[in-house]
Amino acid sequence: MNINEICKKVKAASIKLAATESEKKDKALLAIAESLDGHKEEIFKANRADMERSEREGLAAPLLKRLKFDEKKLYEVIDGIRSLAGLPDPVGRTLLSTELDEGLELYKVTCPIGVIGVIF
């Protein structure tokens, strides 16, 4: 499966995920955090390989610094995901409602627009 196919599946899944109850979303976030922690050695090994290849290819020092994914960065990511699971679910909250005319109401409702993980 190539990256384009993966992205299409993610987009399709996001619609279902938006309708999922908060408890399930929080459990999924916590499972992601645990999985990252449980696979840290694999993550670090892959990052070392990326760093070595990038150094050989002459990637600029500031970009190398951003590419490096060490234990400190991993635990910042894990802590961020765990704190995200502790926040109220923002999806589907009504922020504003206005009656435009009799029987015609306008609602401003929050909806998901992003992802929590980025691959670079």
* Amino acid 118: pLDDT: 55
Q: What pLDDT does residue 46 have?
A: 96
Q: Which residues of the chain have pLDDT under 70?
A: 113-120
Q: pLDDT value at position 112?
A: 72
Q: What is the pLDDT, as a whole number, of residue 106?
A: 95
Q: What is the pLDDT of residue 17?
A: 79
Q: What is the pLDDT of residue 120?
A: 47
Q: What is the DSSP string of 38-103?
A: HTHHHHHHHHHHHHHHHHHTT--HHHHHHH---HHHHHHHHHHHHHHHTSPP-TT-EEEEEEEETT
**pLDDT attached to residue 75:** 95
